[in-house]
């Protein structure tokens, strides 16, 4: 039976590209068929997997230029029962699209706030006076520019092809190594892979409250590849911490570290142990 | 001579309310006159103070529900020379505005993404099917709803008064203690107050790279009231860290800690030592 996969739609978003790459990966490695289901927001995408509306959901978690996609962390913390099955790293390249014939005369640029932020320097240099208008997805920006030649949009090269829109500039992202991590989440427990992600809260805002949890890993030479704080939302100055661990060899050591961590934290939630798969440019060019 | 203060405009934004409260505070305590200058984005607001277009700039840095305003941290790190003069904590209350007579029949809701996020539960409960459209500020949302009774906006109670729009619901934020920290920044060195904010990068992504900097403060019982990571933008997995310290009594101890910190970090930037002023509801009701 085909596996259903929820993603932030519509067709042409970077989430759809990641979903297609994951579908290809599952078809190649496990001969599994995947059916993609678009959702209007990241929160709804992840909730679809929690409520079994879809078997799996794919969601962006971090971009190399703009940092955390906080709604993904917050939603995973709230839903509790979801596990990370797989991480995909997608290279992100932005193009500039417009029905106008040149950059001169443009008045407005539409795109998702993450895309606008990732092309900030290019926009300041080439279009210093345009009005920047945020949209819910990079694809949504495209519908805005169809009628009006004084407007432009930032989207993926794939979206330009799909919606048949003229490309005025390519690779406009400020950092050439721009990429986004996506997590595939589902209800199945995940215990295989070299990476573990977890979230925890600490008992109180006292000197060194965060040092003890971090020392647990440092003393065992376990690398933290990422640490992120998020507000508990109860009051200003109270935080949750999200951590990614790299497991090098000794899994027993990791289990010991996680047990020890529990003695220094208030609430702890393990989001899963999983593998990281970079998406190759050759797969991308075929999508 | 009057002091000029840049803020994220136009009139009616929460930044403007914070700017007005700060102007009142300076008038009361130092008999200083302040002239407010609106800017279209947070980055441009902060840059105005760096380029001396304005004497000071006020910018949101963290909300208790939605977390960091990352553009403020990123801009301060890039500009280097600005110092935090003062922190203001503003209680944030959102109201729902529409020219329609009731919540039934509404199709779209406009607001700043932070405001939409802070009222997520209310929106899911009362308007589960509406389309949420992000805008550059809560005030910008208001111009969208004037002609169309099937649309609504989330903004501040002050904006409702200023733009004379009907309020359909008040206090719709998911958390009653919702508040935002604002920093007033300028070129004057700042060395008075019980809080220090700084940013640093660590030499390499090795086990425990972050533990040593944090141990410096824990061993001296200096409380970190906040830690935030941001991508260096060079490559995925490399981070800058932003820290707020609370200085309780011994300033020498703090200076020692900062010197010691420098031996464990790559680049370190002190953003200033400053006081925190909560804005009282009585001042807000007069604005």
ipTM here: 0.75
- The partner residue sitting opposite A208, judged by closest CB among B133, B179, B218, is B218
> How close, in Å, is residue B36 to chain A by CA atoms?
22
Residue A202 has what pLDDT?
85
Rg (CA), chain A: 21
CB of A113 less than 8 A from some CB of B: yes
Question: B152: domain CATH number?
Answer: 3.40.190.10
B287 part of a folded domain: no
Instruction: Give the CA distances from residue A111 to residues A108, A223, B39, B131, in Å, rounded to whole numbers and listed in that order.
Output: 10, 36, 21, 17
Say if residue A82 is in the same domain as residue A184: yes
Query: Do A134 and B132 make contact, defined as CB atoms within 8 angstroms?
Result: no
Mind listing the pLDDT tens digit of every residue in chain A (287 residues)? 799 999 998 899 999 999 999 999 888 888 889 999 999 889 999 999 999 999 999 999 998 888 889 899 999 999 979 999 999 999 999 999 999 989 999 999 999 888 998 998 999 999 998 999 988 888 888 988 988 999 999 999 999 999 999 999 999 999 888 899 999 999 999 888 889 999 999 876 666 778 888 888 888 888 888 888 888 877 777 888 999 988 866 678 888 999 999 999 999 999 999 999 888 877 887 87
B165 part of a folded domain: yes
Say if residue A162 is in the same domain as residue A207: no
Taking a C-beta distance cutoff of 8 angstroms, is the pair B96, B159 a contact? no
A115 part of a folded domain: yes
User: What total number of domains does chain B contain?
Assistant: 1
Say if residue A116 is in the same domain as residue A164: yes
Residue A249 has what pLDDT?
64
Say if residue A184 is in the same domain as residue A65: yes
Say if residue A77 is in the same domain as residue A219: no
Contacts of A64 in chain B (CB under 8 A): 231, 233, 235-236
Q: Which of B73, B47, B82, B87 is CA-nearest to residue A68?
A: B73
Q: Which of B160, B169, B166 is CA-nearest to residue B12?
A: B160
What is the rounded CA–CA span in Å between residue A32 and residue B52?
Answer: 61
Say if residue A216 is in the same domain as residue A266: yes
Q: Which of A27, A28, A29, A21 is CA-nearest to residue A3?
A: A27
Say if residue A85 is in the same domain as residue A104: no
What is the rounded CA–CA span in Å between residue B59 and residue B6?
Answer: 9
Q: For residue B227, give the chain A residue with the closest CA.
A: A229
B151 part of a folded domain: yes
Query: Do A231 and B63 make contact, defined as CB atoms within 8 angstroms?
Result: yes
B122 part of a folded domain: yes
More confident residue, B246 or B110: B110
Contacts of B223 in chain A (CB under 8 A): 205-207
Instruction: Give the CA distances from residue A91 to residues A116, A162, A285, B230, in Å, rounded to whole numbers and listed in that order.
Output: 16, 19, 12, 19
Residue A49 has what pLDDT?
97
Give the domain range for residue A54: 3-89+180-189+276-286
CB of A164 less than 8 A from some CB of B: no
Q: What does the pLDDT average to over B132-152?
A: 89
> How close, in Å, is residue A194 to chain B by CA atoms?
15
B161 part of a folded domain: yes
DSSP string for residues in chain B: -PEEEEEE-STTSHHHHHHHHHHHHHHHHH---EEEEEESSHHHHHHHHHTTSSSEEEEEEEETTTEE-HHHHHHHHHH-S-EEEEEEEEE---EEEESSSSSTT--EEEE-HHHHHHTHHHHHHH-TTSEEEE-SSHHHHHHHHSS-TTEEEEE-HHHHHHTT--EEES---SSTT-EEEEEEEESS--B-SSEEEEEEE-S-S-TTTTHHHHHHHHHTT-EEEEEEEEE-SSSTT-EEEEEEEE--S-HHHHHHHHHHHHTT-SSEEEEEEEEEEEPPHHHHHH-
Tokens of A57: 């959901």
What is the rounded CA–CA span in Å between residue B86 and residue B273?
Answer: 8
A174 part of a folded domain: no
Question: A210: domain CATH number?
Answer: 3.30.70.260
A80 part of a folded domain: yes
């Amino acid at each position: 039976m085909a596996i259903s996969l929820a993603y932030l739609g519509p067709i042409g978003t970077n989430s759809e590209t990641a979903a297609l790459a994951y579908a290809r990966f599952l078809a190649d490695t496990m001969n599994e068929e995947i059916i993609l289901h678009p959702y209007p927001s990241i929160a709804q995408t992840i909730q679809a997997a929690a409520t079994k509306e879809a078997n799996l959901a794919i969601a962006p978690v971090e971009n190399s230029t703009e940092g955390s996609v906080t709604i993904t962390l917050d939603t995973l913390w709230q839903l509790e029962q979801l596990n990370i099955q797989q991480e995909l790293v997608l290279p992100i390249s932005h193009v500039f699209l417009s029905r106008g014939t040149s950059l001169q005369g443009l008045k407005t640029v539409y795109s998702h706030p993450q895309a606008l932020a990732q092309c900030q320097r290019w926009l300041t240099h080439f279009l210093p006076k345009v009005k920047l208008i945020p949209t819910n997805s990079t694809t949504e920006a495209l519908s805005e520019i169809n009628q009006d030649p004084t407007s432009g949009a930032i989207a993926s090269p794939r979206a330009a092809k799909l919606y048949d829109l003229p490309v005025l500039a390519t690779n406009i992202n400020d950092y050439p190594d721009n990429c986004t991590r996506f997590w595939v989440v589902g209800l199945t427990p995940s215990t295989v892979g070299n990476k573990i992600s977890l979230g925890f809260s600490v008992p109180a805002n006292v000197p060194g409250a965060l040092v003890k949890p971090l020392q647990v890993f440092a003393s065992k030479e376990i690398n933290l590849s990422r640490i992120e704080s998020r507000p508990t939302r109860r009051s200003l100055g109270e935080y949750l911490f999200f951590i990614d661990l790299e497991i090098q060899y000794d899994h027993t050591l990791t289990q010991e570290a996680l047990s020890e961590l529990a003695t220094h934290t208030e609430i702890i939630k393990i989001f899963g142990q999983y593998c990281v798969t970079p998406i190759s440019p050759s797969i991308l060019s075929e999508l």
